Structure 1
Amino acid sequence: MNTPTKVAWDTKIAVILRDDLEVWQKLNVTAFATSGIAATVDGVVGEPYVDGDGTKYLPMYRQPVLIFSTDAARMKTIHERALRRDVIVAVYPEAIFETNNDEDNRATIADVPTDQLVLAGIAVRGDKREVDKVVRGATMHS
């Protein structure tokens, strides 16, 4: 096995989850919110994986995804910071837990003003210093 090469990332991907969610909801928010980053950021996903038998697997992120947790009040603050900073943002409104298709998912926020969104979580990506400022006050999820 090769010795891993230590990489210093100049960008960071972070998911911030509301701390009152059920475990299945936290996992769902993480998967959905980060999919927007994977789908839109060039170079964020690496090469496909291939095992020793030649079986191919899908590529994954090239860098770690850090998961944070916070309460609803700080989630609003973090969301506001994310919108003011030079990061990209994916939101997961709480209302999506009641829908089952993409069109209805997007409709959950279509008529809701930004400052009134009730978010279960968000995902952000950007310069690591900017992301650190966005997530300030949230704790690493355990």
Structure 2
Amino acid sequence: MTAEPVRFDTKIAVLLRDDLAPWQELNVTSFLVSGVVATDAELIGEPYEDADGTRYLAMLRQPVVVLAGDAAMLATAHSRALSRKLETAVYISEMFATGHDTANRAAVRAVARDSLDLVGIAVIGPRNAVDRTFKGAALHR
């Protein structure tokens, strides 16, 4: 018996700048997704358990789409996300030189919105709005 696929009303998507080193891609993605998760505790499912009864941490209830694009694509998607009032997380290049949350927030606060050197953004929102926000971005490889 095959279960029918679940279709979520919302979509979570991450857009990474296409010139990042692999360690940067992973770091930025994890930070951005943590921001999305912080918007709603309902995004987290139940804890996992294996057949032996070993318990594991709960994770997101829905998939995350990871995309890639150049700096211009990031700027466009950022503008679209804000104009659509989507919940948005940002990661800027200056954050690679910081070592903690307070310094990260200070780095973002020091730069005007249109001057942010974005290396990644994440959004959650209605599926169609998220799809339109990231129109033109490629799936990350």
Q: Output the CA distance in 1 between the equivalents of 2:58 and 2:69.
A: 30
Q: Output the CA distance in 2 between the equivalents of 1:4 and 1:13.
A: 22
- Cα deviations by residue, 1:59-103 (Å, 9 ceiling, x for unpaired): 111111000000001111110101011311000111111111111
Q: Output the CA distance in 2 between the equivalents of 1:85 and 1:99.
A: 30
Which residue of the partner structure matches residue 112 of structure 1?
111
Which residue of the partner structure matches residue 70 of structure 2?
71
Which residue of the partner structure matches residue 23 of structure 1?
22
Paired AA for residue 23 in structure 2:
W
Q: Output the CA distance in 2 between the equivalents of 1:4 and 1:34.
A: 27
Q: Output the CA distance in 2 between the equivalents of 1:41 and 1:118.
A: 27
Deviating runs (4+, > 6 A) in structure 1?
Answer: none
Which residue of the partner structure matches residue 51 of structure 1?
50
Q: Output the CA distance in 1 between the equivalents of 2:86 and 2:48.
A: 28
Task: List runs of 5+ in structure 1 lacking aligned partners.
Answer: none
% of aligned pairs identical?
50
Which residue of the partner structure matches residue 39 of structure 1?
38
TM-score normalised by L of structure 1: 0.95
TM-score normalised by L of structure 2: 0.95
- Cα deviations by residue, 1:93-115 (Å, 9 ceiling, x for unpaired): 11111111111111111121100
Aligned residues: 141
> Helix, strand or coil: the match of 1:29?
helix
> Helix, strand or coil: the match of 2:87?
strand
